[in-house]
């Protein structure tokens, strides 16, 4: 098959690309444990430079450095790639078939912590730009910038400040988000946004210390306080009852619903499979909440905010019985938010709601806040990515207007006004954050070509 010389180059040099990826994953870089962070930043700075991309490591205010790369292109347009060089801890170690930092290849897949999330994408994009530079005498169709941070897996505490302080350096016309996944149907998956998050701890306190449960006749129980408080936050119809909670929710646009409908139509077979999964229950659940199916299920997943209890701790939960009246109760909750909900505003509304319901004794402590973001599905960058995907994969991309999870996309919108599209080298079973994280090397090869094709078309 006649293909672009750049693609042929990728095929001919693929072993080199894979060894560079293996070297990247062999360097542990666990932000949560401060393991190998400096070395990993050096590796990526070096990789950028090896391909002729000007690179440096820029200190953040007390955090891990950001690796920054830049190379001028022929047009006045600029693309910014966002990736991260840190990874999650590899635990539980005994569930890995091979060493999480070996990068072993089995059955055409490379297994390593961070190979999908996110070193595979970072390497593929650098190699794509590097290949274009090599084959075209150092010229690129657009200016390319790389922002590779080292704190994504610990909540990106310094990213917003970094983007704010370096807004001029980072200025671009569009951005490519860290990851995207090939679906079970073989189509490249893309998404255009993230949900926001408000993570809080609620704590109720009772007596100074745990007491004999005989005291329950007279002494208030903080576990009950917390349960009653929680029951005012959401009802059994899945409605969140905090006044004003839904005020800022923007309903999906006609174009977004069109994307969802196209998706449902294209995945009819897969979707009935999914419905069977709900009935048969590969997660042990007989029906999704509210018994939703098909389009409605998907719409709710992407466009509805949630109020979720992550954990609840109080009193005695060891073996057997202990008749105790606990002195405190703690719950951890996350609210996944959709545009244009503001996590700080939701926090205030939650606090006001608890006060109004008579629960002002319950302490509310925010842990994490991230704004939701959506790129308009009509933006030309989305079209460029779709065209590139069709050219590389021979299949139409499956484009999700947003995703159920969260990520630090908001500062890119706030300070750089950057439309973002996400595509990448992972696949539906990459198992990010879990044991045996992996990517298929064929997807890796295609991912390099995809990044090149995107730069040619954007
Ligand atoms: Zn991750």
pLDDT in the model for residue 269: 61
Asked if 65 contacts 132 with a C-beta cutoff of 8 angstroms, the reply is: no
Return residues with CB closer than 5 A to ligand 1 (ion): 117
Least confident interval from 115-129, 236-250, 312-326, 398-412: 398-412
Nearest Cα neighbor of 362 from 224, 246, 245 is 224
**222 pLDDT more than 60:** yes
**How far does the centroid of ligand 1 lie from the alpha carbon of residue 127, in Å?**
21
C-alpha of residue 152 to centroid of ligand 1, in Å: 7
pLDDT of residue 2: 60
Give the residue, 370 or 280, on which the prediction is more confident: 370
Give the CATH number, domain containing residue 112.
3.40.630.10
Q: How many angstroms is it from 61 CA to the middle of ligand 1?
A: 22
| Closest of 4, 171, 205 to residue 77, by C-alpha | 171
Same domain, 116 and 67: yes
Residue 456 CA to ligand 1 center (angstroms) comes to 29
Task: Give the H/E segment covering residue 438.
Answer: strand 438-440
Whether residue 260 sits in one domain with residue 381: no
Of 305, 339, 370, which residue constitutes the final position of a domain?
A: 370
Looking at the fold, whether 335 and 224 belong to one and the same domain comes out as: yes
Whether residues 139 and 11 fall in one domain: yes
Ligand 1 centre distance from Cα of residue 70 (Å): 24
Are both 43 and 134 inside the same structural domain?
A: yes
The CA 88 to ligand 1 mean position distance, Å, reads 6
Task: Give the Cβ contact number of residue 308 at 10 Å.
Answer: 11
Inform me whether the pLDDT recorded for 63 exceeds 80.
yes
Residue 119 DSSP class: I
Identify whether residues 315 and 420 lie together within a single domain. Answer: no
Q: 200 with 190, same domain? A: no
**114-142 average pLDDT score:** 97
| SS3 category, 84 | strand
381 and 361, same domain (yes or no) = no
What does the pLDDT read at residue 277? 55
Which of residues 330, 348, 370 is at a domain's end?
370
Read off the CATH number of the domain in which 304 is found.
Answer: 3.30.70.360
pTM: 0.88
Give 69 Cα–ligand 1 centroid separation in angstroms.
22
- Listing DSSP states for 222-254 in one string gives HHHHHHHHHHTTB-TTS-B-STTTTTTPPPPPH
What tens digit of pLDDT does each residue of 70-79 get?
Answer: 999 999 999 9
pLDDT, mean of residues 309-329: 96
Same domain, 247 and 340: yes
Statement to judge: residues 242 and 339 lie in one domain: yes
pLDDT score recorded for residue 282: 64
Residue 285: pLDDT band (50, 70, 90) is confident
DSSP label at 389? Answer: H
Mean pLDDT in residue range 258-287: 70
Task: Let me know whether 200 and 181 are in one domain.
Answer: no
| Mean pLDDT value across residues 361-372 | 95
Contact (Cβ atoms closer than 8 angstroms) between residue 211 and residue 328: no
- The SS3 call for residue 137 is coil
Provide the pLDDT for residue 293. Answer: 85
Q: Is the pLDDT of residue 278 over 70?
A: no
Task: Show which of 335, 370, 405 is a domain's final residue.
Answer: 370
| Stretch 29-55: mean pLDDT | 97
d(CA 450, CA 447): 5
Q: What's the gap in Å between 212 CA and the centre of ligand 1?
A: 44
pLDDT tens-digit readout, 156-199? 999 999 999 999 999 999 999 999 999 988 999 999 999 999 99
% of the chain residues with pLDDT over 90: 90
Q: Report the domain count for the chain.
A: 2
Confidence bin at 281 (pLDDT 50/70/90): low
pLDDT at 268 over 80: no
Q: Domain of 314?
A: 196-370
CB contact at 8 A, 230 and 350:
no
Distance 86 CA to ligand 1 centre (A): 9
Average of per-residue pLDDT values in the chain: 94
Task: Kindly give the distance from the C-alpha atom of residue 117 to the centroid of ligand 1, in angstroms, as a whole number.
Answer: 5
| 384 and 278 housed in the same domain | no
What pLDDT does residue 406 have? 87
Residue 280: predicted pLDDT: 41
């Amino acid at each position: 098959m006649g293909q672009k010389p750049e693609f042929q180059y990728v095929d001919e040099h693929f072993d080199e690309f894979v060894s560079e990826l293996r070297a990247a994953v062999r360097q542990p870089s666990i932000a949560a444990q401060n393991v190998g962070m400096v070395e990993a930043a050096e590796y990526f700075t070096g990789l950028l430079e090896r391909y002729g991309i000007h690179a440096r490591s820029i200190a953040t205010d007390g955090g891990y450095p950001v690796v920054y790369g830049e190379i001028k292109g022929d047009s006045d347009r600029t693309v910014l790639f966002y990736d991260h060089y840190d990874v999650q801890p590899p635990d539980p170690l005994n569930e890995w078939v091979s060493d999480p930092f070996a990068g072993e290849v089995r059955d055409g897949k490379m297994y390593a912590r961070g190979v999908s999330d996110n070193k595979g994408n970072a390497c593929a994009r650098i190699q794509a730009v590097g290949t274009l530079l090599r084959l075209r005498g150092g010229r690129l169709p657009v200016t390319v910038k790389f922002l590779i941070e080292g704190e994504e897996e610990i909540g990106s505490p310094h990213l917003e400040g970094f983007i704010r302080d370096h807004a001029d350096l980072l200025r671009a016309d569009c951005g490519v988000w860290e990851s995207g996944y090939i679906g079970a149907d073989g189509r490249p998956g893309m998404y255009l946004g993230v949900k926001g998050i408000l993570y809080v701890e609620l704590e109720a306190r009772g007596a100074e210390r745990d007491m004999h449960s005989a005291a329950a006749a007279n002494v208030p129980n903080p576990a009950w306080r917390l349960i009653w408080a929680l029951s005012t936050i959401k009802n059994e119809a899945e409605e969140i009852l905090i006044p004003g909670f839904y005020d800022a929710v923007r309903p999906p646009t006609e174009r977004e619903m069109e994307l969802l409908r196209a998706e449902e139509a294209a995945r009819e077979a897969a979707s009935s499979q999914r419905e069977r999964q709900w009935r048969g229950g590969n997660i042990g659940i007989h029906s999704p909440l509210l018994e939703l199916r098909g389009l409605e299920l998907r719409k709710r997943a992407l466009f509805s905010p949630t109020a979720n209890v992550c954990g609840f701790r109080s009193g005695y939960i060891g073996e057997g019985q202990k008749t105790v009246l606990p002195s405190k109760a703690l719950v951890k909750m996350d609210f996944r938010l959709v545009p244009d909900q503001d996590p700080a505003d939701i926090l205030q509304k939650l606090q006001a709601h608890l006060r109004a319901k008579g629960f002002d004794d319950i302490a509310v402590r925010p842990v994490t806040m991230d704004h939701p973001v959506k790129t308009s599905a009509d933006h030309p960058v989305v079209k460029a990515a779709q065209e590139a995907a069709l050219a590389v994969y021979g299949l139409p991309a499956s484009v999700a207007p947003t995703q159920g999870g969260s990520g630090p996309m908001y500062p890119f919108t706030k300070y750089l006004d950057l439309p973002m599209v996400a595509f990448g080298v992972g696949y539906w079973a990459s198992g990010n954050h879990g044991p045996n994280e992996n990517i298929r090397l064929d997807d890796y090869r295609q991912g390099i070509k995809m990044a090149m094709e995107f730069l040619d078309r954007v």
